[in-house]
Each structure stands twice: as C-alpha cells, then as structure tokens.
C-alpha cells in the first residue's frame, strides 16, 4: 500500500469530534410495482450477499489512532459488510420530516477509522410508497462530487433492468447514468494535493485579493465555532420555474438559485433578529474561462458573490447577484491558472481554514457560507426498477462555516441539500419554506 | 461551577474514538391496554414537553475540546431536549434481534461533549405489543449501578399511575421502585476519587496479589486492543431455575450465574477455535466482609474467579467456580479496607487499565473479562401504566477487555446484558444461545 497523499491524510488529521469530515448523499426512491411489505428488507439482504466491494471502499487507515507522521492506507482483510450496509426504519408517520431527522443524526457521527470509511443506510417506513438510501463517505476517500457520481454508478435509465448491484460494488465500468458535466471535484483534489503549505499561501493571496473587492463578508451567526451534531434539510424545485425566472431577468439558473438562497437567508436571519447590516457573501465554485488558457478547456475556481441580503426586493437582489457573479469573474481574469486553482482549494483545506480551536474567533470570515451547484443527471434513473425520485447532497459545515448549501439537478428538478451545525443553525428546516416563498416571490417580481 | 473531580474528569480524558466511556440501559415495556398505534409517538411528544431536567443531566464540560489541565462542569443554558430524547423505529419484522442491532449501533457512538452527556431513545416498531427505551449516560456523570437506579426513578409498582415523568426529570424524591441493595457503584466512585496515582499503586498491589493465586489469566481473543463499534446482546432467565440449580449444588445464585457464563464462553471459544488451554479468569465485584471491619457493614471489593473453562463437565465447572469464589474471599482477608477497595477501583480507572495505545499488547491480562451482578427490583414495575418486561445493563468494554457481562435481576428474572467490541467479539448473539444451553445442562447435571 502506498503512502497516503497529503490531500487525503489532511482530512484525517483535520478531523475532530466537532468536525466530522465526511460527505453524504440522500436518494429517494419509489417502490417498484408489486413490491411486497418486506421489499426493503429483501433488498438489504440481497445487498449484503456480495463481497464484491470497490477497492477504494475496502481500504482503511493503517494506524487508526492517528499520528503526526505519514499515514498509510491498508486493505481491510476482515470487511464486515453488515457494519457498512445497514437497514433503518422511520417512526410513524414516516414523513420526509422523520427522514431528515434520521439523516441529520446519521450525518453527525464520526466514521470508524478501524474500518473502511463509509456507511450506507437503507431506510424503510417512508410513507407514500417510498424508501431512501443515505450514504456517507469520508472526504479522505472522495469529495462530494465524486461521491454523488459514485451513487449513480448503479442507476440506469432502463426501468426494466433488475440487478441489485450496489453503488459500492467493485465493477470498474462507466456509470450508466449521464456523467456529471464538471470536473470540479477531481480538479480540486489535485490542487489540495499541493498541500497545506500551498493552502496557507493561497489564503494570503486570497486575503489580498478580497481586499480589492467592493464588499467584504460581515460577521454573522453562521461564522462561529461549531459543534459535532448536524441538521440536514432537503427539497427540490422544478428547474423549469427557476430557468423561466432567469430567462425573464437575463440571469443564469445559478444566479436564480443564489437569489433563492439569498432571500431565504434574509428571511431566516430576520426571524432570528440576526441579519447583518452588510450583505452576506457566498463562496461559489464555478467554472471560469481565463483569457490566456493555453491548456484549453475550463479553469475551475471559486468566486465570491454578494447575496445582497440588505435589499428587501427580490428582483433587486437577483440583479445585484447577477451583476456580482459577472464582475467576480473579472477579478480573476488577470490571475494565473495556479492562483485561481489554489484559491479554489481553500474551502477544501480544513487545516488552512483554521480548524484549530480559537482561530475562528480571531479572524473575520472571508465569506459567510459556501453555495455549490453540481450538475447532475437529466433523465429519470432507476435502481433495480425502483425509480429515483430525488437526490440531495449532504455536505460538511466547517469551523466558522456553520451552514453549507449544495445544490444538484436531477430529471428537471433543482435539488437543494442544506447541512448545518445543529446548535449554531437552529430551525434549519425553515429555510426550505423560505426557499419556496422566495421562488414564488421572484416569479411575481420579474 | 466547581472544578471537576479527578474521578469524573479521568473518564473524559481517558475517552477516545475506540473507547466510548458511557454506560447504558435497555428497558423493555408492554404497551398498556388501549394503546393506539401512535402510543410511542405520543409518549415521545409528552416527554419533550418539559424543561424539568435533573441538574446532573443539565451540565456539560465547560471546555468540550478538552485539555490536560483541570476540567470544569458548566450548566447548559440552551438545553435542546429534542437532541437528547429521540424517537427511533425498528425495521420489520421488529424482533428483539432488530432491537439489539439498533442498541449496538447507538451504544458505539460518542456522546457530544458540547451538550449534557446523555441520550435517551424511545423505540417503536417492536412486535408483540412492546416498545423499548435505551438510555446512555457518560461514566463521568454516573456509574452503571447509579444509571440503572436512575432509570427506576420514574417506575412504580402501581399500574394505574399515569404520569409521564421521565427518568431524567429533576424531582429529588426517592425512587418509587425498590432501591438497589448494594452501594457498589457509589463506593467505587468514592475510591476512584482517590485518583489515578492510587490506581497505579493499586495496580502494583494487584499484580503482587494475583501472583499468589493458584491460577493466572491466559491470553485470549478477549484481551486485545479494541475498536469503537459495539455489539450488544441481552436476555433474561427465570431466577427460580438458577436458584434451584444453586440449592441442589450448594452454590449461590452468583456462582450459578458465573457457571452459565463460563460454559457459554467455553462453547463460544471452542466454535472459534480460540479456547485457551488454561481456564479463563473473571473479575467479579462482590461484597466482602473483612475480619477486622471496624466501620461495620460491607467491604466492597473485586475477586478473581476461575471460570474452569478447561473442564468439559458443567457440574464440574460449577464446583470449581463455587470453590473459587469462596477461596478468593480468603485471599483478601488479610488486606486492609483501603487495599481491598483500591483493588476494586481498577476496572473503573481507564487510565490505570492502560488506555494508552499499545499497553495491552505488552502486559498479560490480570483477568479475561469482568462479570458483574447488580441486584435489582423484585416486583413488577410500571411506567405510566406500561409494564416493564425487562431491563438489561449495557456496559463498557475496555482496552484489553473486549467483552463485559453485567447481570441484574428484575421481578423473578436474571437479566443478562453482554456488551462487546464488534470486531473483536464476533457473533456475540451466539452467547445467548449458549447461556440457554448451559442453564439446561446444569439442570440436568446437578
């Protein structure tokens, strides 16, 4: 087994009880026609009846207790699949609310370092003929984008295919669903491989850079030390509605998504009497085309975007956000590819972000929260005949970044996953209501 | 808030991902007559509708991240009861097997140090008209005996009382159930308060002492470094059957209980081809009357007892165990009260037990596992009209002590709780079958 690259070990070293560093995904399925009452139990037993596990999901840290030296991976020769693939049930009445409560709990506990760093939880007892699969994978193994892609490996566009191949199976063939169209995750991992030293350098560049921006992130209740417990909320909205707003306002889908988040956050913070006077600033990973891109293709980076949360009018906020995402690209135009990409590594480098206790209290936030948009499959997908109704990213709040919003798309729906520190971000579910209200308000206002 | 005494802080300092230091209890209840389908859900909501929490269960470590200096407790001014009191459900078919699987998982995760160090989980979906309550409390707050007693605070012998007072309520009145008849827990905590230095001294005394015993513990698969995941198994057997065997053989209930464990362990280890040639040695907390006990009352200590696992005949094993528990008391007769009590503190002093990684690999075990018997209530008890069907202790495996057996009694039943490291003690549930077989074999043999 090779030495573990810094890009992987830093996620083990940077992890603590307060900062579990795993990413997750929640998939919602419809029970196929003719499914019996024990359908999910049978599926669980079928999934356990394999020892065909992806090599990445067989390895574990060789020295689980940790060290300041070099980490190594080793193969788990006693892989206990029953430990990794679990069956859970929802208490009555089995609404999405009970599902989100369960996922919140599951996402808040640390993965066992004595074992391969992943868990999958099949969930039964969801009403309206549905079941769910929540999967968590350590960031040292996979970033969020790759994890979402892994989840799609066992899906197909053909509803008649019956094959209980799980996402964690070893087959190396291509995913049958459409590929994610960006390489954000993979590229960021390469960059992170440059190590904490670069991240520290990048942090300094970042500070110098943001000093030239027309706005700076205010202090907010989202930018404080966090605890280990999590809250997760998720919901989807029709992409067509979002796109219609964008078309009417001359904005992108991404701009409208950011405007929904901005308006929802404004309402949420107003309710808590905690809205900063100055507008919140979001960090948004985006594909950036640089002027002198000799390598061709996309340069991937992170832009800072005002959320205009000081403005009461939704159309006004959307205009400010659209303007901001455009002009922020300009900020990066004169920078080298390395600078752009190094900047992008920051939110993925917990050591650089100051996981050391106390760091957050001293430095003002560079941004208030990260909002990512990861394109996903456009057609309906099936898992052994069970139609996937939705897929939601479950991400990582960091020290000083108590809320993460990650959005993906699936089959004409824009799927929001909100992950927050349970203590610092109370009543997270209210943000879903606010997102809904904001989309309706934008439709009226444009 | 006062400084935290060493007896409490050592359980925080000694804790790691591999060694969660909380104790638990599992209570099984019968749904009362006329309970609707949402009975457990309604009970959960009623339990949340209070802010009357026991002061012990309101406090949390002031500096959750930890320090090598002095710890302090602080009151949690934002106690989030929904976090502590949770509702879970079992997947179908909702047997005890699914319940034990859930409890195994819940017992393996660390408590959140940013909050008061306890959780209670109501469990619905248990078949045969039952529901369950699993409670976990950090050892820094309560030892296992006190935790079991706390669970009994809201129980009553009167089935007509309707009062959703939870075990964690603040009322300071006496428990309505019969008191536990030993003060083992309380006394051991006092001793532990003498601190790690004494524990280290005691460890040396202990070694010298055990050197004079006619037996020494062999190395076994139970005495290895452990991981964080747990398995829990539990079952009760009629006390009358156990007592009848004891009466016929001239042995105590405790002796027969130990013989059941011994025979079950022999079968279990034989199946795994891991039975040591020399017999296993159990550490057993017991009340010991010393010759010159000027303070009167009981001296409480720990005896080492052979489990005679080298002998194939059950009656033979019981005889050896009975002989061993008698003669072991003699070993302590010449010792001072302090020595006896200091010895008893050892299994409760994780620092002394060598939680530092690697310690276990170097030193042979003083004993192979701890088997405790904590007397419990003798009459049927009720919680808001729901009859308690059983109560089982969920204990702490330590580094080098991968299996713990704790037994309690309730309403004519001897209730076994087996807690093991999931990786080191595979197929823990088989021990339940073996315990059952052993009791039957003892009945035939005597």
* Distance from C-alpha of A131 to C-alpha of A123, rounded to nearest angstrom: 6
CA–CA dist A76, A57 (Å, integer): 9
Domains B6-152 and B197-375+393-445 share a fold: yes
Please write the tens of the pLDDT for every residue from B28-52. 999 999 999 899 999 999 999 887 8
- Cβ distance A125 to B17 less than 8 Å, yes or no, reads no
Quick one: average pLDDT of A352-369? 55
For residues A293 and A173, the model is more confident at A173
Put simply, the answer to whether A110 touches B110 (Cβ < 8 Å) is yes
Nearest CA in chain B to A91: B89
Pairing status of strand A369-374 against strand A281-288: parallel
> Could you tell me how many CB contacts below 8 A there are between chain A and chain B?
94
pLDDT at A130: 97
Q: Provide the token pair at A269.
A: 């913070």
The pLDDT of residue A135 is above 60:
yes
**Local structure of A366: helix, strand or coil:** coil
Residue B281 CA to residue B283 CA, distance in Å, equals: 7
Residue B376 predicted with pLDDT over 50: yes
Q: Which residues in chain A have Cβ-Cβ distances shorter than 8 Å to B103?
A: none
* Orientation angle between helical segments B6-13 and B184-192, nearest 10 degrees: 80
* Contact partners, residue B219, CB within 8 Å, separation at least 6: B276, B364, B365
CB neighbours of residue A336 within 10 Å: 12
- Our CA-based measurement puts residue B382 at a distance from the nearest CA of chain A, in whole angstroms, of 23
Is B112 in Cβ contact with A228 (below 8 Å)? Answer: yes
Look at residue B324 and tell me whether its pLDDT is greater than 80: yes
- Is the confidence at residue B137, as pLDDT, over 70? yes
**What distance in Å separates residue A395's CA from the closest CA in chain B?**
20
Q: Nearest C-alpha of chain B: how many angstroms from A219? A: 22
Residues of chain A in contact with residue B93, where contact means CB-CB under 8 angstroms, are 38, 41
Subunit contact A110:B115, Cβ cutoff 8 A: no
List the single residue in A with minimal CA-CA distance to B87. A91
CA A171 – CA A161 distance, rounded (Å): 17
- So what's the pLDDT on residue A177? 33
Residue A93, pLDDT > 60, answer: yes
Q: What is the mean pLDDT of residues B173-197?
A: 37
Which of B92, B108, B116, B118 best probes binding to A when mutated, by most A CB atoms within 10 angstroms? B92
Q: With CB atoms and an 8 Å threshold, state whether A115 touches B65.
A: no
When pLDDT is averaged across residues A275-283 and rounded to a whole number, the result is 92
Question: Chain A interface residues facing chain B, Cβ-Cβ under 8 Å?
Answer: 16-18, 37-38, 40-41, 44, 64-65, 78, 80, 83, 86-93, 105, 108-110, 112-115, 124-125, 227-229, 357, 422-423
Residue A227 to residue B115, Cβ atoms within 8 A: yes
Query: How distant is the Cα of B400 from the closest Cα of chain A, in angstroms?
Result: 16
Q: For residue A87, which residues of chain B lie inside 8 Å, CB to CB?
A: 91
Calculate Rg over the CA atoms of chain A: 21
**Pairing verdict, β B85-89 and B118-126:** parallel
Hey, what are B441's tokens?
Answer: 């074999």
Which of the four pLDDT bands, split at 50, 70 and 90, describes residue B336? Answer: very low
Q: Give helix then strand counts, H and E, for chain A.
A: 13, 14
CB nearest B92 (choices: A38, A92, A109) = A38
For A10-63, the pLDDT digits (tens) are: 667 667 777 787 888 999 999 999 999 899 999 999 999 887 888 888 888 877
Structure tokens at A406: 């990650």
Residues of chain A neighbouring B357 (CB-CB closer than 8 A): 65
SS3 B38: coil
Output the pLDDT for position B14: 65
Residues A115, B78: C-beta atoms closer than 8 Å: no
As a whole number, the mean pLDDT across chain A is 79
Q: What ipTM was predicted for this assembly?
A: 0.80
CB A78 within 8 A of CB A89: no
pLDDT in tens, B271-306: 999 999 999 998 887 655 444 434 333 345 567 789
Residue A354, sorted as left (phi over 0), alpha (psi -120 to 50) or beta, turns out to be left
Tell me if A393 sits within 8 A of A144, measured CB to CB. yes
Give the closest residue to A21 by CA, choosing from A99, A134, A138, A106.
A138
Which range is least confidently modeled, A139-153, B157-171, B406-420?
A139-153
Residue A267: its pLDDT value, please?
A: 98
What is the residue-wise DSSP string for A65-130?
T--SS--BEEE-TT--HHHHEEEEEPPTT--HHHHHHHHHHHHHSPPPTTS-SEEEEEEEEETTTE
Statement: residue B329 has pLDDT above 70: no
Chain A's closest residue to B231, CA to CA, is A83
Can you give the pLDDT at residue B154? 81
* Bigger pLDDT: B375 vs B48: B48
User: How confident is the model over B251-269, as pLDDT tens digits?
Assistant: 999 999 999 999 999 999 9
Nearest chain A Cα distance for residue B5, angstroms: 23
B114 pLDDT above the threshold of 90 = no
Can you name the residues that pair with A306 across neighbouring β-strands?
Answer: A281
Fold for B6-152, please state it. Chloramphenicol Acetyltransferase (3.30.559)
Q: Shortest Cα distance from B225 to chain A (angstroms)? A: 11
Tell me if B357 and A65 make a contact (CB, 8 A cut-off): yes
> Residues 6 or more apart from A242 whose CB is under 8 A from it?
A253, A256, A257, A260, A414, A439
Chain A interface disruption, residue of B47, B88, B91, B97, most A CBs within 10 A? B91
Q: Show Cβ contacts of residue A103 under 8 Å, excluding neighbours closer than 6 positions.
A: A24, A26, A134, A232, A394
Q: What is the pLDDT of residue A446?
A: 87
pLDDT confidence bin for A83, thresholds 50/70/90:
very high
Kindly state the average pLDDT of the residues A310-323. 96
Best of B12, B15, B17 to substitute, by most chain A Cβ atoms within 10 angstroms, is: B17
pLDDT of residue A287: 58
**Is A355's pLDDT higher than 50?**
no
Percent of chain A residues topping a pLDDT of 90 = 43
3-state secondary structure of A379: coil
Average pLDDT of span A166-193: 46
Compute the distance between CA of residue A295 and CA of residue A399 in angstroms, rounded to an integer: 35
- At A168 the pLDDT is 84
Q: Is the pLDDT of residue B116 over 80?
A: yes
Which of B31, B77, B85, B112 to substitute to test the interface with A, most A CBs within 10 Å? B112
Mind listing the pLDDT tens digit for each residue in B223-254? 888 888 999 999 999 999 999 999 999 999 99
Q: Distance between CA atoms of B408 and A228, rounded to whole angstroms?
A: 34
Mean pLDDT of B62-74: 66
Q: Return the HEC string of A197-263.
A: HHHHHHHHHHHHHHHCCCCCCCCCCCCCCCCCCEEEEEEEEEHHHHHHHHHHHCCCHHHHHHHHHHH
| Nearest-Cα residue of chain A relative to residue B17 | A112
Percent above pLDDT 70 for chain B: 72
Q: What is the pLDDT of residue B83?
A: 93
The pLDDT tens digits of the residues spanning A72-82 come to 788 888 889 99
Give me the CATH code for the A197-375+393-445 domain, please.
3.30.559.30
Looking at the annotation, which residues of A are catalytic?
A: 139
Up-side HSE of residue B340: CA atoms within 13 Å toward CB?
A: 27
Which pLDDT belongs to residue B162? Answer: 84
The confidence band for B182, taking pLDDT boundaries of 50, 70 and 90, is very low
* pLDDT for position A294: 40
Is A414:A259 a contact under the CB 8 Å cutoff? Answer: no
Higher pLDDT, B215 or A149: A149
Chain B residue set in contact with A, beta carbons under 8 Å: 16-18, 37-38, 40-41, 44, 64-65, 78, 80, 83, 86-93, 105, 108-110, 112-115, 124-125, 227-229, 357, 422-423
* A chain contacts of residue B44, beta-carbon cutoff 8 Å: 91
pLDDT exceeds 60 at position A153 = yes
pLDDT at position A16 is 73
- Does the distance separating the beta carbons of A86 and B89 come in below 8 Å? no
Higher pLDDT, A326 or A347: A326
Tell me phi and psi for residue B421, to 5 degrees. Answer: -70, 130
Of B136, B137, B185, B197, nearest in space to B6 by CA: B197
Q: Which of B19, B44, B107, B139 is catalytic?
A: B139
pLDDT reported for residue A292: 44
Domain ranges of chain A: 6-152, 197-375+393-445
Picking from B17, B41, B89, the nearest residue to A89 by CB comes out as B89
Q: How high is the pLDDT of residue A84?
A: 94
pLDDT recorded at residue B142: 73
pTM: 0.84
Chain centroid to Cα B275, Å, comes to: 24
**Taking residues A254-265, what's their average pLDDT?**
98
pLDDT for residue B208: 52
- CA-closest candidate to residue B306, choices B406, B213, B187: B213
Mean pLDDT of the region A375-398? 91
8 Å CB contact of A92 and B89: yes
**C-alpha pair distances (Å), A248 with each of A316, A346, B102:** 14, 35, 52
State the pLDDT at residue B69: 53
Cβ distance B124 to A65 less than 8 Å, yes or no, reads no
Interface test with A, best of B114, B125, B226 (most A CBs within 10 A): B114
User: What value does the mean pLDDT of chain B take?
Assistant: 79
Give residue-wise pLDDT tens across range B117-128.
999 999 999 999
The predicted pLDDT at position A399 comes to 74
Cα–Cα distance for residue pair B53/A95, rounded to 1 Å: 29
């Amino acid at each position: 087994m090779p030495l573990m690259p810094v890009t992987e070990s830093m996620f083990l070293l940077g992890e603590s009880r307060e900062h579990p560093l795993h990413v997750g995904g929640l998939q919602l399925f419809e029970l196929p026609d003719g499914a019996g009452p024990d359908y999910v139990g049978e599926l669980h037993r079928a999934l356990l009846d394999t020892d065909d596990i992806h090599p990445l999901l067989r390895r574990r840290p060789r020295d689980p207790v940790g060290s300041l030296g070099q980490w190594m991976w080793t193969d788990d020769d006693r892989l206990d699949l029953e430990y990794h693939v679990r069956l859970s049930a929802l208490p009555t009445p089995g609404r999405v609310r009970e599902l989100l409560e369960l996922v919140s709990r599951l996402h808040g506990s640390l993965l066992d370092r004595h074992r391969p760093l992943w868990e999958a939880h099949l969930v039964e007892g969801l009403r309206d003929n549905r079941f769910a699969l929540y999967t968590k994978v350590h960031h040292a193994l996979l970033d969020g984008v790759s994890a979402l892609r892994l989840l799609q490996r066992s899906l197909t566009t053909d509803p008649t295919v019956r094959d209980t191949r799980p996402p964690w199976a070893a087959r190396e063939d291509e995913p049958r669903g459409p590929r994610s169209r960006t390489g954000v995750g993979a590229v960021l991992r390469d960059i992170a491989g440059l190590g904490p030293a670069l991240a520290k350098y990048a942090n300094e560049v970042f500070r110098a850079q943001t000093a030239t921006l027309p706005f700076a992130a205010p202090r907010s209740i989202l930018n404080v030390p966090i605890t280990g417990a999590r809250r997760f909320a998720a919901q989807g909205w029709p992409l067509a509605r979002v796109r219609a707003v964008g078309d009417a306002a001359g904005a992108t889908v991404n701009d409208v998504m950011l405007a929904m988040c901005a308006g929802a956050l404004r309402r949420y913070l107003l309710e808590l009497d905690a809205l900063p006077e100055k507008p919140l600033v979001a960090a948004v990973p985006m594909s950036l085309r640089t002027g002198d891109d000799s390598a061709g293709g996309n340069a991937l980076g992170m832009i800072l975007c005002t959320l205009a949360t000081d403005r009461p009018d939704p159309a006004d906020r959307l205009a400010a956000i659209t303007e901001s995402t455009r002009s922020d690209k300009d900020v990066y135009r004169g920078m080298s590819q390395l600078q752009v990409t190094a900047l992008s590594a920051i939110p993925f480098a917990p050591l650089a972000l100051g996981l050391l206790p106390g760091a957050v209290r001293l430095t003002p936030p560079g941004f208030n929260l990260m909002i990512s948009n990861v394109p996903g499959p456009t057609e309906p997908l099936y898992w052994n005949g069970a139609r996937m109704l939705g897929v939601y990213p479950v991400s990582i709040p960091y020290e000083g970044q108590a809320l993460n919003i990650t959005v993906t798309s699936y089959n004409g729906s824009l799927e929001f996953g909100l992950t927050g520190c349970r203590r610092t971000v109370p009543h997270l579910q209210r943000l879903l209501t606010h997102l809904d209200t904001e989309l309706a308000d934008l439709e009226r206002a444009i």
